[in-house]
Amino acid sequence: MEDEERGRLAERAEEATISSLVRMLGPELAESLGVSSTAIGGGTAFRMAASNDFPMFNRVLGLGLDAPLTDDVVDEAVEFAHGAGGPWLLIQLPPYAETPEVLELLERRGVRRGGCWAKMMRAVGEPPVAATDLRIAEVSAEEAEELGRVQCVGMEMPPLLVPWCARQVTEPGWRAYAAYDGDRMVAIGSLFRHGDVGQLSGAATLPEARGRGAQSALMARRIADARDLGMAWITAETGAETPDDPNPSLHNMHRAGLEHLYDRRNWLLDL
């Protein structure tokens, strides 16, 4: 399979994952956080009015996959961001969507270059082996709230999001896993299925448990389960690495056999 075709699968899996997470918020929590989403130009725009610093819910995904980005699509995205109370618009474009015409459009509209996210992918194949002294297991429904707590602490999110994170345990299409120090849950990670693609999501480790191989072991377990469930691909994304800003998550993904497909640029338009 060509790199661009794999990239399209990975982008659509991420878009479907975030759309599922929005639905999991439920009407009451979504309203209190000002979370909204809409289809735009073959992609999906997300906005969280309560926080401008939560990139998961403040961006546009999936543009340029089926048709080139146009002024009309940018106008529609700007209108959505304005209406949802956004001070800026973040557009994430894979490199194969950044044609000369699109780059000229972005420059003309005053959109500036931001940082990059690394898009990672592997064929499921034989799962990796990862050593840890922690016990890895699928999370039961009775442990859902504890998973939510670990994720919020590990990702430095407010406690009001614990019930939302907990829904990964029981939501259709999702499987949630944890690493345990004895009986104590210290790290978590989820797997979301979108067709033949499994999206790695929600990785979080309590500060005191870091450096013990929890995330590598959780990735290995999720890849093994994706294989057993008949999925063909595993994908994930994380911050791109620079010499001044190393990213341990990226190293974990490489060790798990995920290939670096490309760095995806964040394009930022101040409104």
| pLDDT of 141 higher than 70 | yes
Neighbours of 243 (CB within 10 A): 5
Give the mean pLDDT of the chain: 95
Share of the chain above pLDDT 70, in %: 100
Q: What pLDDT score was predicted for residue 1?
A: 67
pLDDT at 242: 86
| pLDDT of amino acid 143 | 98
- Alpha-carbon distance 64 to 99, whole Å? 10
- 197 or 82, which is more confident: 197
- Give the mean model confidence (pLDDT) for residues 200-208: 97
Residue 84 has pLDDT above 90, yes or no: no
Q: Pinpoint the alpha helices (H) of the chain.
A: 3-33, 71-83, 100-108, 144-154, 162-166, 214-228, 248-255
For domain 135-231, the CATH superfamily is Gcn5-related N-acetyltransferase (GNAT) (3.40.630.30)
What integer is the mean pLDDT of 173-186?
A: 98
Task: Identify whether the C-beta of residue 186 lies closer than 8 Å to the C-beta of residue 150.
Answer: yes
Q: Is this model's pTM higher than 0.85 or not?
A: yes
Q: Are strands 88-93 and 259-270 parallel, antiparallel or unpaired?
A: antiparallel
pLDDT digits (tens, 9 = 90+) for 159-171: 999 999 999 999 9
SS3 assignment, position 48: strand
- Domain parsing of the chain, residue ranges: 3-118+265-270, 135-231
